[in-house]
């Protein structure tokens, strides 16, 4: 059984999240260096994803007047909405693949 090292993230959009890394794969000096670079805020691609999430939230507030947390709908409604979004994503992915393949 693998032994894991837990790391709690502080700041940014992943504040409070805890991640587990197999101790065999854990390079403490690398982790400390990377965490000191970001100082609680994501960098690179992760930062752009966080920006996209914040922008989507702003758009939702403008469009619906509330955040997802405050909106109505039961659990089934949320699952249906997510399912429909996943179908849209599959269509976009298939279209991109077809374009690449020519």
pLDDT at residue number 49: 93
| Chain-centre distance for alpha carbon 76 | 22
The answer on 21 and 2 residing in a single domain is yes
The answer on 32 and 14 residing in a single domain is yes
- The total of structural domains in the chain comes to 3
The answer on 47 and 27 residing in a single domain is no
Q: According to the 3-state scheme, what is the secondary structure of the chain?
A: CCCEEEEECCCHHHCCCEEEEEHHHCCHHHHHHHHHHHCCCCCHHHHHHHHHHHHHHHHHHHHHCCCHHHCCCCHHHHHHHHHHHHHHHHHHHHHHHHHHHC
The answer on 56 and 30 residing in a single domain is no
- Condensed to tens digits (0 to 9), the pLDDT of residues 43-64 reads 889 889 999 999 999 999 998 8
- Its pTM stands at 0.56
* Residue 52, domain extent: 43-71
């Amino acid at each position: 059984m693998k032994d894991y090292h837990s790391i709690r993230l502080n700041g940014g959009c992943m504040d409070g999240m805890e991640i587990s890394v197999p101790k065999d794969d854990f390079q403490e000096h690398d982790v400390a260096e990377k965490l000191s670079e970001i100082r609680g805020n994501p960098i690179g691609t992760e930062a752009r994803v966080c920006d996209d999430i914040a922008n989507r939230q702003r758009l939702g507030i403008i469009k619906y007047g509330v955040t997802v947390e405050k909106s109505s709908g039961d659990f089934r409604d949320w699952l249906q909405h997510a399912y429909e979004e996943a179908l849209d994503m599959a269509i976009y992915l298939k279209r991109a693949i077809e374009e690449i393949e020519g």
